[in-house]
Structure 1
Amino acid sequence: MVELDGHDAFKALARLLECADDGTAWRAKSPSVERLRIALTELPQHASALDLAVLLRQAINHERTRRGTAVPVIPVSHARFSDFRHWNKVGLRMTIAGDARLVSIEPWHPEWLSVEGNEVDAFAASETIRREFNAAGCEGDPFLASVRRTSYRSRGQRAAVRAALSTPAGGSLVVALPTGEGKSMIFQLIQTVGFVGADQQENQGTTLVIVPTVALGVNHEQEAVEVCGLAKPLAFQGGNDAQNAIIAERIAAGTQGLCFASPEAACGRLRDPLRRAAEAGLLRALVIDEAHLVDQWGTGFRTEFQELSGLRRELLGAAPSGQAMRTIMLSATLTDSSLETLRALFGAESDFESLAAVQLRPEPDYWIAPVASEAARIDQVMEALHHAPRPAVLYVTEVAAANAWHARLAAAGFRRISKLHGKTARAEREEIVGEWRAGAIDIVVGTSAFGLGIDYAYARSIIHACIPETLDRFYQEVGRGGRDGRAALSLIVPTAKDFTIAKKINAQQVISIDRGFERWSTLFARKIRFGEGRFAVRIDGRPGAGERDIDMFGETNTDWNLRTVALMARAGLVRLLGSPYPRIAEEGD
C-alpha cells in the first residue's frame, strides 16, 4: 500500500470522494485524511453519513491550513453521502452544479463563545506539530531495542528510564513525566531488561504494576503483549476467576512477568502469591502507576492505595538478602502534597529519590464557554460535536450523564460512538479500549474511568460537559488529546450545577481527632503482640465500646478503621508492616 502525504494524499481523497478511486491502494500520513479514507472503505460499514460529513470537514480544514489559502470546492459523488441533507449543521456548504455535488467549508464561529475572529476547531484540525518527539538529544540506549524503540520521546523520558533502571534493591523512586511522554516504557524495560547491576536471579520474576482502573490495566496489557512479547493474561480483573487463578499461580512461581492489578487485588487475593514470590527472590518491582492517587484517592476512598505501603514492607521483609524488590512510582500530576505522602509511606528505611521532568503541554488549544443552563449546554455541546475534529472524548462526571449523552448522540445520527464509565462491564471495557486504540471510534462519552493512561496518539478534541473536581483530573483528561505532539482542542461547557457537584466530590471527609483516637484505642486494645514493637490489630472490629458503635460492622466501618491507621502512618505515629506471616488463623481482617 502506497503512503501519501500533503497534496498527493488530498488529491487521492478527492478521487475517492468522486468515486474515481476505491481508496484501497493507498493510505495517508495525515491522521484526518486517513481516518476519512478508512471510514469510507471499511467493511462492514459502521460510519453514518453524519459521521463521514464531520470527518470530511476535518480533512478539508486540514488541507486549507496546509495550503495556507482557501481550499476550492470539492466534488462529492460518493454513494455514502447520497442521502445526507444536513451539510450546514457540520459547517459545510453544498451546492449542486449539474450532476455534481460541490462541497466547501464554512468557518465555525459559535455565538456562545468569545471567538474574536478565531475559528474554534481550525487549530486542532490543522494537525500543527506542537511538540517534537525523538528529537536531537533524545538518542536511544541500545537496550531500547528490547521494546522496539530506537530513541526516547524526550530527554525527560531518557532521564526517567535511566534513573528507574538504576534503582538499588529495596529502593524507591518517584518519577513525574508529562502525559504522552511514555511512562509505561519504564515498567516494560524493567520486564525486558531488568535493573542495572542486578544478577540474573534478581532480574527474574514478576513486576507488579498497580493500576487504578480496569480500562488502564487492559490498555497496558495489550501494549505489553505487543511490545514485550508476553502472553495473556497479564491484567488481574474482578469477575474473571479462571484468568485470575492463572495469574496468581504464575506470580507464586515467578513466571508471570508483568502483572497489572488494582490495589485492592494486590492487598487481597494476590497477597499470598506475592509473598511466596518475594520469599523466593522472584519479585522484581512494585510499580504504582498514577501514583498521585495514593494521596488523592487513598485518603478519601479506596484506602488500599495507602495500605500498599504495608504490603510493600511485608514483601521487602520476606525477600532474601540483596534481592528486595524496587518500588517505582509514576505520575504526570505530582503535587507537593502527593510527593510528601509518598515519602511518608514509601520512603522510610530505604533509598528514596524523586525525578521530575514536567512541563506545560503545548498541544491543547483551550476554550471555556460562559456558564449556561442545562438546555443551552446540550445545544452547545451538540453543536460542538457536529464540528470538532475527531477522534473526540466527551467527558462528564456522573454515570447517568454518560448514558444520557450517548443516547442523545445516537439519536442525532452518530454511529461511531461508545461510552465508558465505572459501571461498564469488563468485556465491554476491553472492546471499547481496543476499538479506541484501533481508531474505530470517533467519539467516546466517558467519566473519569476513561482517562488515566488510556493512550491513543491521535485524539484531537476533548470536550467537558462538566467541571472536573480537581485540576489534576482536568490535566489528565485533557492529556488524552494531542499525544502525537500535534494540536488539539480543549472545550469546557459548564452549568451552575457543575460547581456544586465538583465541590461536593472534592470535599475530603477527614476523620476528627477525637473519633480517630476512639477508633485507634479500640483497635489497639485488642492487639496481638509480636515483640520488638510489632503488633497486629483487627481493622474490621467495631469502632468503639459505646452504644452507637456496638453493632457497627461491615465494609464501610472497616474502611474507616483502615483510613484511621493509614492517616496515623502518614503522620509518623505508626508504621504499616503489612499482615502478619504466617497468617493469623482466626477469622477477621
Structure 2
Amino acid sequence: MEDADRERAESTGAECEQVEDTGAACERVARRSLGLTSLRPGQLAAMTALAQGRDVLAVMPTGSGKSAIYQVPALLLPGPTVVVSPLIALQRDQVEALRERDEEAVSLDARTSAGERRTTFESLRAGETEFLFCAPEQLARPDVVRDLAAAAPSLLVVDEAHLISSWGHDFRPDYLRLGPMADALGRPPIAALTATAAPPVRAEIVERLGLRDPVEIVQGFDRPNISLTVRRTLDDPAQEIVAMVTAESGPGIVYTAVRRQTGRLSGLLRDAGVRAAAYHAGLRRSERDDVHGAFMAGELDVVVATSAFGMGIDKPDVRFVVHAEVPGSLDAYYQEIGRAGRDGEPARAVLFYRPEDLGLQRYFTGAVPDLETVTELARAIAEAGSGSDRRSLRERTGLSPRRLTTLLDLLERSGAARVGARRIGPAPGAPAPETAAELARELAERRRSVERTRLEMMRRYAETDDCRRRFLLGYFGEHVADPCGDCDTCHAGTADRRQEEESGPFAAHARVEHRTWGPGEVIQRGDDRLTVLFDEAGYRELHLDAVIDQRLLTETPAPPV
C-alpha cells in the first residue's frame, strides 16, 4: 500500500472509530438520563452527528422522538442549548418534562420580568442551566442575542423548522431571522427538526438557516394506524360532522378554515351533548390556555379550531381529526392529521370536501405586496446605507414587525438588501429602489403561483379514486407500490390496481427539464400520469402519454452532492 493510501485508510479508520465512540456515548446518555433503552430509526445517527459538531435536518413523524435528538447531545456538549419553539404552551411542556428528569431548563417570553431574565442569563453563563426555550420573536431583541452570545451556546435547536420556509404550510416570518442570529451566537451546530417537510421545504430550511453540509435524516412519513377518508358533499357539512363526532369514542379535533366556524360548530356539538370548545388565534391567551389545558386533562371531548391549535398538542389518545373544509396544502393536512393516534392505536382522519371551498384557500394565497410599499422600504434602506435597523425602518415606513420581516426577506432574495442579526443595509450592487421593488413583487407572485399548485395537489388528493395513502406519501417523495387497504378508496375497491413498476422512463426522484417550467424532480409516477415538482413553477401533473409522445420532458443528471 502506498503511503498516501495508508494514511488515508488510517484517517478513515480513525473517523469511523470516533463515530462509533460518539454513538456509544449517545446511547449511554439516552439510557441513563432519558430512560431510553432503545432508540428509534434515525435517532442515533442524528444524535451522533450533533455531538460531533455537525448540523442536522431531521424530518421524522410525530411521536418518533425528535426531542431526544437534541437532548442527548446537549448533555454531552459543553455550554447551554438554545431551543427555538413557536408556542409558549409547547415550551412550557418541554421545560416541565426536562425538570421532571432533574435537568435544568427555563423558558423566556414577553411576560418574563427583567429580574427573571437577568437570573436566567446568569445561570446560563455559569453553566447551571442547560436548556433555554424561547420563541423566535425573543431573538429579535438585541439584548437577548447579546446575552445569549455571552453564554456561548453549544447547540441551537430550531423546532418546527418548516415554519422558516415560504414553501411551508404555516410560514412564520420571524423564523427568517434565525440564520443571521445563529452567526451572532457564534454559529453553534444547528438541529432543525420538523414532522413534515416536502422536498422544497427541506431545501429551503437548509438554505435559510445556512446549514453547513448537514446530515439529513428523513424517516418514513406513513402513519399506518390512521385511516384516511374523504366525504364529498354539496351542502354545508355541519350536521354530518355533528352526527359523525357524536358516534365517535374518545377525544378528537375538528379543524375549520375560518374563526367564525369554530364557535358555530362547537355550539352545535354542545347542543348534541358533546363537551366541545372553540379555539382560534383571536381569543385571549388566557382563553386559549384554558381550552388547551381542559383538552389535555380530558375535560373536553372535542376542540373545534383553526390551524392555530395543534403544535403544542402532545395528547396520545386523540382518536379522530376532522376537517370541515379542505386545507390549503397536503403539508398542512398531514401535519394536522398527525395529531391523531400518537399512542399507536387506530385513529381516523376524515376530510369533508366541497369543491367551492377551494376558492377560500385560493383567497388566502392571494396576498402580493403593493409596489409603493416595497419601493418605500427599498428607498429607506438605500438612503440609510449600512446604518439601518428594524426599529428605524418601522418608524420610517409604518410597517408592523411581521410585515417588515416579510418584505425584508423579499428584498434580500431579490438582491437589494443585506439583512443581518442587528444591521440592515443595501446589498453590493443593489438595483435602484424602484427596480428592487419590482423584482420583489415578481418573487411574491411566483410564490403565490407555487402556493396554488400545492392547493391543486390538495384537490387531487380529495378527488382521487386511487389509494389516498399512496397519493399522500408520494407527495412527500415516498414511493409506495401497493394500496394501503385502510382508506376509503381501498375499501371501495377503486384502488386495487397496482401502480406501474418504475422500470420505464421518469421514475420517482428523476431530475427532469420542461421547455417552459424549467428543471424539476419527479415526485410520483402513476400508471398514466406524472407529478413533477418544478424548482420555480411548483407542482404539476402531466399525462404520461403526452409527456412521451410530445417529448415534454427530458431527463437530466442529478445535481452533484
Counterparts of 1:297 and 1:263, CA distance in 2: 19
Q: Does 1:337 align with 2:200?
A: yes
Q: Distance in 1 between matches of 2:277 and 2:118?
A: 33
- 1:61 match: none
Which letter does structure 2 place at the counterpart of 1:148?
Answer: L
Corresponding residue number in structure 2 for 1:274: 145
TM-score by length of 2: 0.63
**Can you list the C-alpha shifts for 1:127-166, whole angstroms capped at 9, x where unaligned?**
xxxxxxxxxxx99922113443233452123333333333
Q: Secondary structure at the match of 1:367?
A: strand
State yes or no: 1:537 paired with 2:388: yes
Q: Which residue in the other structure is 1:262 paired with? A: 135
Instruction: Please point out which of 204, 209, 212 is paired with 1:346.
Output: 209
Q: Equivalent residue of 1:219, what SS?
A: helix
Give the structure 2 partner of residue 186 of structure 1: 69
Q: Which has the larger radius of gyration?
A: 1
Contact 1:333 1:472 in 2 (8 A): yes
User: Structure 1, unaligned stretches of length 5 or more?
Assistant: 1-137, 196-202, 317-323, 528-534, 544-550, 582-589
Question: Which of 166, 171, 178 is residue 308 of structure 1 equivalent to?
Answer: 178
The answer to whether the Cα contact below 8 Å between 1:247 and 1:256 also exists between their aligned partners in 2 is: no
Residue of structure 1 equivalent to 2:231? 369
- TM-aligned CA deviation for residue 443 of structure 1: 1.6
Distance change >3 Å, CA 553–CA 518, structure 1 → 2:
closer
Equivalent residue of 2:239, what SS? helix
Whichever residue aligns with residue 179 of structure 1, its letter is T
- In the aligned structure 1, how far is the partner of 2:397 from the partner of 2:143? 25
AA aligned to 2:265 is: W
| Residue pair 1:188, 1:228 contacting (<8 A) in 2 also | no
| Helix, strand or coil at the partner of 1:218 | helix
Task: Note if contact 2:167-2:200 (Cα within 8 Å) is conserved in structure 1.
Answer: no
SS for the counterpart of 2:368 is coil
Gaps of 5+ in 2: 1-23, 425-561
Counterpart position of 1:158: 44
Of Structure 1 and Structure 2, which has the larger fraction of its residues in helix?
2
Residue by residue over 1:220-247, the C-alpha shift from the partner in whole angstroms, topping out at 9 and shown as x without a partner, is: 333333345446xx33344x343x7514
Pairwise CA distance, 1:285? 2.2
C-alpha RMSD of matched pairs (Å): 3.3
* 8 Å Cα contact 2:164/2:208 also seen in 1: no
| Equivalent residue, structure 1, for 2:481 | none
Matched with 2:157 is: 287
Partner of 1:399: 259
Letter of the 2:149 counterpart:
A
Q: 1:400 to 1:217 in 2, by over 3 A?
A: farther
Question: Letter of the aligned partner of 1:235 in structure 2?
Answer: S
> Are 1:219 and 2:82 counterparts?
no
SS at match of 1:490: strand
Partner of 1:174: 57
Counterpart position of 2:348: 489
Provide the residue aligned with 1:526 in structure 2: 384
Aligned to 2:407: 564
The alpha carbon displacement at 1:560 in A equals 4.4
Q: Deviations over 1:272-294 (max 9, x none)?
A: 2332232342x232211111110
* CA deviation after TM superposition for structure 1 residue 391, in Å: 1.5
Q: Return closer, same or farther for 1:573/1:526 CA change in 2, 3 Å cut-off.
A: closer
Work out whether residues 371 and 495 of structure 1, in 8 Å CA contact, stay in contact via their aligned partners in 2.
yes
Normalised to the residue count of structure 1, the TM-score between the two structures is 0.60
Q: Quick check: 2:253–2:305 contact (8 Å CA) kept in 1?
A: yes
Give, as a single letter, the amino acid of the residue that structure 2 aligns with 1:459. Answer: V
Does the CA-based 8 Å contact 2:82-2:132 persist in structure 1?
A: yes
Distance 1:258 1:435, change over 3 A: farther
Note the C-alpha offset of 1:410.
1.9
Letter aligned with residue 264 of structure 1: E
- Give the length in aligned residue pairs: 398
Q: State whether structure 2 residue 459 is matched by structure 1 residue 576.
A: no
- 1:213-269: per-residue Cα shift (whole Å, max 9, x none)? 3333333333333345446xx33344x343x7514541354144323322112212x
Letter in 1 for 2:380: T
1:165–1:426 CA distance, 2 compared to 1 (3 A): farther
Query: What is residue 356 of structure 1 aligned with on the other side?
Result: 218
1:466 is the counterpart of 2:325: yes
User: Structure 1 counterpart of 2:200, which letter?
Assistant: S
Matched, 1:503 2:365: no
Asked whether the equivalents of residues 215 and 450 of structure 1 are also in contact (C-alpha less than 8 Å), the reply is no
RCO higher in structure (CA 8 A, sep ≥6)? 1
CA distance in 1, matches of 2:402, 2:298: 40
Counterparts of 1:369 and 1:160 in 2: how far apart (Å)?
40
CA distance in 2 between counterparts of 1:294 and 1:184 reads: 19
Q: Which residue of 2 aligns with 1:200?
A: none
Letter in 2 for 1:204: G
SS state of the match for residue 413, structure 1? Answer: coil
Q: What is the one-letter code of the residue matched to 2:107?
A: A
Aligned position for 1:553: 397
- Aligned counterpart, 2:535: none
Q: Aligned equivalents of 1:332 and 1:305: distance in 2?
A: 17
Matched letter for residue 388 of structure 2: V
TM-fit CA distance, 1:383: 0.4
Question: Which residue of structure 1 aligns with residue 34 of structure 2?
Answer: 148
Looking at structure 1, the residues matched to 171 and 290 of structure 2 have their Cα atoms a distance apart, in angstroms, of 28
CA contact (8 A) 1:536 1:579 kept: no
Deviation at 1:354, TM superposition (A): 2.5
Secondary structure of the corresponding residue to residue 76 of structure 2: coil
SS at the partner of 1:382? helix
Query: C-alpha distance in 1, partners of 2:40/2:191?
Result: 19
Counterparts of 1:220 and 1:383, CA distance in 2: 36
Q: 1:215 to 1:253 in 2, by over 3 A?
A: closer
